[in-house]
Every structure is written in C-alpha cells, then in structure tokens.
Amino acid sequence: MKEIKLKIVTPEKVLYEGMVESVSFPTVDGEITVLAHHIPIISAVKAGELKIKASGKEEFFHVTKGVLEVDGETIILLTDAAERSEAIDEKRAQEAHERAKQIMAEKRTDIESYAEAVAQLERALSRLKVVRRRKGGKSSFNQ
C-alpha cells in the first residue's frame, strides 16, 4: 500500500511523525480522509477524533483546533493540543463533560463564558469518544 508522511505538531512538541496509509480528521464541514498522493489542500481542523492507519493498524488521537496542510507527499497538522487515546483518562474526561454541562445549564448572560463552556463540552465529548473507541466500548453517551 502507498504511504504518505504525517507530522502532528503541537506548541510543545512533535507528537507523531511517520509514514501512514491514511489519516482521517474532523473539519467544520465534516470528516476528511487523506491518502498518499492526495491533491494539495489546506484545511481548518476542529476538535475531534483523528484516526491514523499505518501498517494495517489504526491509532486514535484527540485533537483540538488547528490547520492541516497536504502537499501530496506530506501531511502536516499544526494543532493547539493533541493526545493519543491511551493518554486520555476516561474518568477525568467524564468529569469535564459534567462540569461543562453544568456551566451551560446555568442561566448565564455572559456570552463569552457560555461559548467557552460549549467549547469545553465539545472537547470533553471528543476525548470520551476517542478513549471509548480505544477500549472497544460504545462511543455514545448522554450529552
């Protein structure tokens, strides 16, 4: 199978660098999958699940907003934060989910606080989906 080089970069470090068969990532318009020799694109990435297929195996990451550039030979993802599914603590992610729901439920007139709570909720939901997929469990839960 043909491969393409992938590099995932956060402000702190290069989280992943290697040859992959495909990468699927979330955008504001839906999920995109990139294969070797993909046409050049630049895309905004939203918080969600990133799936890498390499050597016939799948690996999952949670990513926050960022930018992805493909030139046909290389994929570079610049993201505010990313973590491998193995690094996600399901209990902490569930607690963050509950806190964000509680903040949203409060009748706030502060639009910025509400927007931040929505962003926190989206991050928590994404992290839960990624960790539960790794564990082979259901990714559905009460939102």
The CATH number linked to 29 is 2.60.15.10
pLDDT in tens, 100-131: 777 666 656 667 777 777 777 677 667 667 77
Whether 37 and 100 map to the same domain: the answer is no
Report in angstroms the alpha-carbon separations of 130 from 4, 7, 102, 110.
23, 20, 22, 31
Whether 94 and 81 map to the same domain: the answer is no
Judge whether 79 lies within some domain.
Answer: yes
Whether 81 and 120 map to the same domain: the answer is no
Whether 69 and 25 map to the same domain: the answer is yes
Q: Which domain holds residue 124?
A: 89-134
Which letter does DSSP use for residue 85 in this model?
A: G
Whether 40 and 94 map to the same domain: the answer is no
pLDDT in tens, the chain (143 residues): 799 999 999 999 999 999 999 999 999 889 999 999 999 999 999 988 899 999 989 999 989 889 999 998 999 999 988 888 666 666 776 676 677 777 666 656 667 777 777 777 677 667 667 776 666 644 443 33
Contact 49, 26 (CB under 8 A): yes
